[in-house]
Amino acid sequence: MTNILLAGFNGSMGKQVINLIDDHDELNLVAVYNPHIQENQKFDFLPENTRAFNNINEIDVNEIDLWIDFSSPDAVYENTKFALENGINPIIGTSGLSDDDYKKLNELSKGSQIGGIIAPNFSISANLILNFAKEAAKYYSDAEVIEMHHADKKDAPSATALNTAKVISAERQNKSENNDMEDSRGADVNGVKVHAVRLPGYVAHEQVLFGGKGEALTLRQDSFDRSSFMDGVLLAINKVAELKELIFGLNNLI
């Protein structure tokens, strides 16, 4: 039995994870955490014996194997740090970690040999695109990324699109050192342009466009429902205990 704490349990992704855990007998949701819930507040959608915490220091770390996080950008660093410091494998789907945050957490992870996964996107198709784009970038120097999400998504461009651009930039032969991402619905990541679309009706979609002499290559993935992310979450749950450090990107497990 794998005992799980879920942070950000009352959001859209959190509720999908609750359903995933409920569908698998080997998984047990022992606790949820959100610092903003009221004392003794009841949640009818939680399993009967699941404890709800609003104080991270009251959590019984000895009964938790995995910390799954779909909380908020302002909380994710401290949540991940808490999990690693207490010997709990973290699976992080919350955006907001900077490169410096990841470096510090990775050093902590290596020091304690507690593995974890930080994934900008848990869609299998989105992570396959990342691997395909990495291969294509060896042959095409010119590439752009278009990401399309629901109107309520706050970060633009998305962490998924920025990570895709970084992977492409690292592989292609003609590289740029320019980074322009501040206050923009688009970005320039080392010469790879990233475009963000925020519209009602969308969930999560990405296109990677490569252009060459007399030809073009387009990679595209579409997530039409948040349930599409659950196969990736389950993959992370099944693999994370084998890791000895913090891994960035679910594509590294595929």
Using alpha carbons, list the distances in angstroms from residue 105 to 62, 108, 211, 236, 245: 21, 5, 37, 18, 9
**DSSP state string for 183-210:** T-SEEEETTEEEEEEE-TT--EEEEEEE
Catalytic position from the list 149, 195, 205, 239: 149
Q: Is 182 exposed, middle or buried (0-12, 13-18, 19+ CB in 10 A)?
A: exposed
149 tagged catalytic: yes
Residue 34 carries which DSSP code? Answer: -
Catalytic position from the list 104, 134, 153, 193: 153
Amino acid letter for position 155: D
Nearest to 68 by CA among 128, 106, 27, 104: 27
205 tagged catalytic: no
The catalytic residues are 149, 153
